[in-house]
Amino acid sequence: MITLGVLFCLLSGASSFAATVSVGDTIHFSIAPNHPSGFSGGAFTATDTNGFTWYSFCVEKNEYINLSSPFIVDSISGTAWNGGLGVSPTPGTALPATPPGTGDPISSQTAYLYSLYATGGLGFTGSGSAAQQLALQNVFWYLENEIATLPFGTLETEYFSLANTAVNGQFYGVSVVNPRYLNGTRAQSQLVYVPEAGALLLFGTGLIGLVGYRRVRRMQ
């Protein structure tokens, strides 16, 4: 019964977590704590209809978010919908703006670095300091070809090096939220981390195995 209960809770928990942000939800954005003064990039605090809140970063550079407006989640995928400034596969190669609607898939490097940020793998929790936010946003833009040069300070070098340890083709539970204004106009695409249900299930089976092991030990 304990085993079945643990499994049920994990399955239902994985399902509900995966549904915290859904197409059609309303989202509001605000400036995150410690946001760099005068900087147009992230981190932003994003709050979904159901109360799920996370810190997001901009994927593209030539799109914007009006912080006084609510947004509708138009799509959630691995692709920023307008393409921003560049769709070159080579990080740091900024290109002229692409036509509206030209999708730009995020890189595995961007996904891995953001997953580390979201899970505390960068050594801090929450939105981070102004310097950390600035460095992360610039590295994301560099990896996504939105800027051609990266100011390689200490933090930028650290984050860029970590990003380059990503496995190509893996996206580490990171997706792109593509929001639109209520009038249908597209807005700046944002990053979100949603752990895959399979990863939570794997963790759950480990717990179940531990429960079984303890039971066997008691019977011996």
For residues 132 and 124, give the distance between their C-alpha atoms in angstroms, rounded to a whole number.
10
Q: Taking a C-beta distance cutoff of 8 angstroms, is the pair 51, 3 a contact?
A: no
Q: What is the pLDDT of residues 105-114, one digit of tens each?
A: 899 999 999 9
Start-to-end CA distance of the chain, whole Å, equals 20
Is the pLDDT score of 182 beyond 60?
Answer: yes
pLDDT computed for residue 196 by the predictor: 63
**Angstrom distance (rounded) from CA 191 to CA 177:** 6
Tell whether pTM > 0.85.
Answer: no
Task: Read off the tokens for 121.
Answer: 């793998």
Interval 89-117 mean pLDDT:
73
Element (H, E) at 29: strand 26-31
pLDDT for 200: 41
Cβ atoms of residues 39 and 131 within 8 Å: no
Closest by alpha carbon to 174, among 154, 199, 208? 199
In this predicted structure, which of 27-31, 96-100, 136-140, 162-166 has the lowest mean pLDDT? 96-100
Task: Name the 3-class secondary structure at 183.
Answer: coil
Distance CA 173, CA 193 (A): 6
User: Residue 197: what pLDDT?
Assistant: 47
| CA atoms of 194 and 42, how far apart (whole Å) | 18
Say if residues 73 and 27 touch (Cβ distance below 8 Å): yes
Up-side HSE of residue 76: CA atoms within 13 Å toward CB?
18
What pLDDT, on the 0 to 100 scale, is given for residue 64?
80
The conformation of residue 116, written as its DSSP 8-state character, comes to: H
Q: Look up residue 219 and give its amino acid.
A: M
Please give the pLDDT value at position 65.
85
Contact at 8 Å (CB) between 63 and 144?
no
Residue 28 and residue 53: Cα distance in Å, rounded? 10
Q: pLDDT of 38-74, one tens digit each?
A: 998 989 999 998 889 999 999 988 778 889 999 999 9
Supply the pLDDT for residue 84.
Answer: 54
